[in-house]
């Protein structure tokens, strides 16, 4: 190990990159730009070689960046490894020293970057200036400053060692203590699920707002508001669909008629629509004869069995989880299709889809809409010609334009992925589709973080496949007698 040091500024042409344990130098454009702007701030450690030059033993990345940045001179520290008249270093010493130096050097965490950029911001340095000074993407700096400005997010990024993007999710819920508590628990246990949990919270909050709105509407009608819907066997209340205006006709009294003509004998129940986060008002009537109405053909249904109730509960729960997962998944796909290159086997996935469409004459219009959404380009078909032949043609021309300039792979992959996302009611009941587990597994291999229900679907499918796989037959391995 070095015993003495000698600091100098030397011509960069006199440096030689010695063998190094770090094989991936990661000399990217931002780093070169940083060196070009600020120079070498941490001197390069060298030893003098037999021809009077300098062998780099620590700082090969800085050296390569300095060469690319066009620097003429760089600061170095000449390390003496013994008291002999030479400065030679053995390969053994070099490897040991490089390993120790790299183990000692740890990159700044996202929490440390956030705190440092916040300090610069407090000194009056703008996000744009910070971005240019430290060669960090402006969006990343802005996200970090947003995290620093949120007490909950700033605490979570430190305590749970979150990334800036993960902590940024928390900032959207400032002031909502219940939501912050849920997100903090997820951050502590499964930080990769933060986006999914945030999407679930937003879905629940939107649903609750609609429920409150429906309750307010019910209360404003001036009729009876029931907490629960009457059962199928109820003899007092009948649903409006069983109430008729005449003995032989098929007209039902409208909700407006019920409220106007029989407010004391009309009740409403706030009901959640099946498979949707929407609420409606269901109308019930009693003493219908007093108002000249009739009940007939009620076709009273048998009450649900416990097994049927349980199946409905599972279906409701899965749909509730699937909808917010769809929002996160589609946002991730949009980001995927904006990357410079398609993921590994992305072209193969697209080719398999195109092959499967041979013989089909048209592309469903919902599919076309989803292609534009996932590719992040403005849809050229307006509400008037959306489902017309003209709309179909305009979309086709726009995609042909997008497919040029080396974007054809992205367009193909976008079309293939949209074919799944655009299936009928996929955003609600996609979890029921037999092909969904394989689709999700492929997205996961490309880096998408599966939500709880998505991971369950993939794991269940893998378990079924393993159980159905034929047992290995060892009989062929036996020697013939």
Residue 396 predicted with pLDDT over 70: no
Q: For 110-157, what is each residue's pLDDT tens digit? A: 998 899 899 888 888 899 988 888 888 999 999 999 999 999 999 999
Please say whether the beta carbons of 87 and 78 come within 8 A. Answer: yes
pLDDT-derived band at 362, boundaries 50, 70, 90: very low
Q: Which long-range contacts (CB under 8 A, 24 or more apart) does 104-112 make?
A: 109/161, 110/144, 110/157, 110/162, 110/163, 110/164, 110/167, 111/157, 111/158, 111/161, 111/162
Q: For 415-448, what is each residue's pLDDT tens digit? A: 889 989 988 889 888 999 999 999 999 999 999 9
> Is the CA virtual torsion 320, 324, 330, 332 positive or negative?
negative
* Ranges of each domain in the chain: 4-104, 110-203, 226-303, 311-468
Residue 84 predicted with pLDDT over 60: no
> Which of 3.90.79.10, 3.40.50.360, 3.90.1530.10, 3.40.50.2300 is the CATH number of 4-104?
3.90.1530.10
* Residue 285, helix vs strand vs coil: strand
What phi and psi values does residue 142 have, to the nearest 5 degrees?
-60, -40
* Averaged pLDDT, 389-408: 63
> Is the CA virtual torsion 184, 206, 433, 368 positive or negative?
negative
- 329: tokens are 């998944």
* Averaged pLDDT, 86-99: 60
Q: For 5-16, what is each residue's pLDDT tens digit? A: 688 999 999 999
Neighbours of 288 (CB within 10 A): 20
- Classify the phi-psi angles of 359: left when phi > 0, otherwise alpha if psi is within -120 to 50, otherwise beta: left
Q: For 186-229, what is each residue's pLDDT tens digit? A: 999 999 999 999 999 999 999 999 999 999 999 999 999 999 98
Residue 317 predicted with pLDDT over 70: yes
More confident residue, 475 or 39: 39
pLDDT-derived band at 392, boundaries 50, 70, 90: low
């Amino acid at each position: 190990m070095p015993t003495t040091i000698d600091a100098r500024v030397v011509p960069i042409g006199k440096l030689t990159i010695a063998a190094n344990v770090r094989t991936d130098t990661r000399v990217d454009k931002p780093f070169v730009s940083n060196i070009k702007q600020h120079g070498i701030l941490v001197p390069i450690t060298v030893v003098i070689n037999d021809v009077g030059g300098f062998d780099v033993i620590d700082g090969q990345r800085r050296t390569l960046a300095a060469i690319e940045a066009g620097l003429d001179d760089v600061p170095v520290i000449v390390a003496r490894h013994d008291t002999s008249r030479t400065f030679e270093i053995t390969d053994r010493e070099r490897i040991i020293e490089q390993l120790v130096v790299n183990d000692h050097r740890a990159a700044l965490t996202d929490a440390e970057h956030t705190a440092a950029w916040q300090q610069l911001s407090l000194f009056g340095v703008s996000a744009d200036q910070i971005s240019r000074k430290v060669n960090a993407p402006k969006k990343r700096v802005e996200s970090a400053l947003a995290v620093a400005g949120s007490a909950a997010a700033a605490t979570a990024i430190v305590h749970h060692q979150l990334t800036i993007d993960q902590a940024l999710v928390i900032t959207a819920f400032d002031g909502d203590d219940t939501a912050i508590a849920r997100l903090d628990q997820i951050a502590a246990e499964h930080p990769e699920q933060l986006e999914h949990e945030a999407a679930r919270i937003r879905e629940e909050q939107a649903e609750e707002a609609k429920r409150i709105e429906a309750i307010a509407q019910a209360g404003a009608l001036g009729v009876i508001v029931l907490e629960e819907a009457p059962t199928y066997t109820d003899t007092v209340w009948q649903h409006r669909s069983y109430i008729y205006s005449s003995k032989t006709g098929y007209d039902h009294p409208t909700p407006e008629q019920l409220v106007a003509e029989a407010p004391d004998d009309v009740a409403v129940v706030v009901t959640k629509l099946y498979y949707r986060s929407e609420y409606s008002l269901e109308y019930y009537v009693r003493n219908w004869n007093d108002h000249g109405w009739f009940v007939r053909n009620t076709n009273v249904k048998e009450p649900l069995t416990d097994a049927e109730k349980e199946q409905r509960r599972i279906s409701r729960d899965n749909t509730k989880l699937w909808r917010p997962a769809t929002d996160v998944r589609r946002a991730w796909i949009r980001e995927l299709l904006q990357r410079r290159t398609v993921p590994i086997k992305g072209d193969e996935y697209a080719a398999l889809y195109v092959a499967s469409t041979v013989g089909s004459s048209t592309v469903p219009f919902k599919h076309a809409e989803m292609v534009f959404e996932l590719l992040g380009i403005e849809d050229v078909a307006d509400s008037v010609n959306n489902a017309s032949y003209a709309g179909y043609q305009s979309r086709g021309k726009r995609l042909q334009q997008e497919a040029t300039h080396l974007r054809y792979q992205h367009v193909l992959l976008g079309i293939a992925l949209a074919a799944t996302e655009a299936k009928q009611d996929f955003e609600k009941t996609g979890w029921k589709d037999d092909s969904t587990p394989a689709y999700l597994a492929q997205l996961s291999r490309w880096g998408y973080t599966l939500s709880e229900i998505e991971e369950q679907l993939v794991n269940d499918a893998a378990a079924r496949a393993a159980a159905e796989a034929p047992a290995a037959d060892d009989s062929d391995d036996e020697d013939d007698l």
